[in-house]
Amino acid sequence: MIQLLRVPQLSTGSDTTTLVEWTAPAGAAFSAGATLGLLETDKALVELPAEQDGVLLLTLVEAGSTVGVDDPVAILGTAADLGRSAEALMAEAGLTGTGPAEVEPANAATDVAPPPPPPTIAHERIFASPLARRLAKEAGLEITDLIGTGLGGRIVRRDVEAASQARKPVQAPVSAPARVAPSSKIRRVMAAHLSTSKATIPHFYLRGRARAEALLAARDELNANRDAGDKITINDLIVKAVGRAHASIPAMNTIWADDAIVELAAVDVSVAVATDDGLITPVVRSVDASRIENIAATTRRLTAEARAGRIRQSDIDGAAITVSNLGMYAVDEFTAIINPPQSAILAVGAVRDEPVVSDSAVVPGKVMRFMLSVDHRPIDGAVAARWMHEFVSLIESPIRIVA
């Protein structure tokens, strides 16, 4: 029986998405739940699943195309339908108009080889963000002529801008107008979320300060025999400490939803990752129960996938808190905005050499500062203060973090 594969309703609420790639070729048999393609939403990749066993007979859109929710993108059937013409398949599916954009229907296996296709020039697949493809088209540039500088050679916005600038003739210096660059889809969504956050969430803030000597020593000891690619970072230890603090103060592991307080079953923590297109917050799962090595490996993987534009929707859903660390940029302290529907975000500053009081004497010390932004609807000030006390205690006694 012929069936249409349609774009599902997206959890992000968007009406359109990009079909990034087909993960199954025409003619491939698949099982229920198998991933047939990948969709790119505002911040993540969403799998396009099969609802039942079958065969992918015909794709109706090319990879890289923009599609709407409920749009038909492929025709599914059984092995008995292999070899039928595109026109016959589309007619039975109730589709009219032009044929498919990319793939001809799959042929059933026969003893007679099909006629050879006309000669074509094989091209290696080009990886480029949807924004880069659109900007290149607007600038009259061929995407195949561009050199990608993103992770894994992916073409990103700066590559298109550089190529466009290189094409411009050299002119005498003049007073240049302000530069206007189109915002990415991710940045537009982030702007909307954070604007809503500031307008609707009653934020309150707690400032914390911790001695960092023991934390630095613990990191160095953990990394003593590790390869460069497996190192534990200060941020990994902070993420683990956040998870332990949430486990100790369960009232912090909550979110506000529909005039109710929802206590999350697992202690998950988001990690803010800066990308070319905007900020993404992938989630590290079950942080309180995970070994520090697993947290570090998961964070490295999610960071790489986020910067390569390969993060999935399931990787950014969940968690009640985000860790945003700007210490590597020598930022002492900052205030961050809560990312809805989460209820808190921890802003982490740099480790600084400062005078501290120890045994009634002023001595040199290393100090970190933290700023916790909290949603006052599900969390009271006293709860957040107990959490900050527990978190600082963990930072200053890191044996409790890794034990």
Q: What is the pLDDT along the chain (403 residues), one digit of tens a residue?
A: 789 999 888 765 567 888 888 988 888 999 988 889 888 876 677 888 888 999 999 999 888 888 888 889 999 999 998 888 888 888 888 886 444 443 444 554 433 344 444 333 333 456 677 777 888 888 888 877 777 665 556 677 777 877 777 776 655 555 556 677 777 767 777 787 788 888 999 999 999 999 999 999 999 999 999 998 899 999 999 999 999 999 999 999 999 987 899 999 999 999 999 998 888 999 999 999 999 999 999 999 999 999 988 888 889 888 999 999 999 999 999 999 999 999 999 999 999 999 999 888 999 999 999 999 999 999 999 999 999 999 999 999 999 998 8
* 193 noted as active-site residue: no
Separation CA 109–CA 124 (nearest Å): 28
Choose the catalytic residue: 15, 53, 70, 380.
380
C-beta separation of 367 from 212 below 8 A: yes
CB atoms within 10 A of CB 142: 10
Choose the catalytic residue: 71, 203, 288, 376.
376
The pLDDT assigned to 42 comes to: 66
CATH topology of domain 130-167: Dihydrolipoamide Transferase (4.10.320)
325: which 2 tokens?
A: 């660390």
140: which 2 tokens?
A: 């009259």
Separation CA 269–CA 318 (nearest Å): 8
227: which 2 tokens?
A: 């390869």
Instruction: Please tell us whether the domain made up of 202-402 is placed in CATH 3.30.2270.10.
Output: no
Q: Which CATH class is domain 3-93?
A: mainly beta
Domains 3-93 and 202-402 share a fold: no
The pLDDT assigned to 104 comes to: 40
The pLDDT assigned to 162 comes to: 75
The pLDDT assigned to 270 comes to: 97
The pLDDT assigned to 321 comes to: 98
246: which 2 tokens?
A: 């949430």
The closest of 396, 403, 395 to 237, measured between CA atoms, is 395
DSSP 281: -
291: which 2 tokens?
A: 């070994």
* 315 noted as active-site residue: no
Domain locations along the chain: 3-93, 130-167, 202-402
357: which 2 tokens?
A: 């009081």
Dihedral, CA of residue 13, residue 16, residue 21 and residue 22, to nearest 10: 90
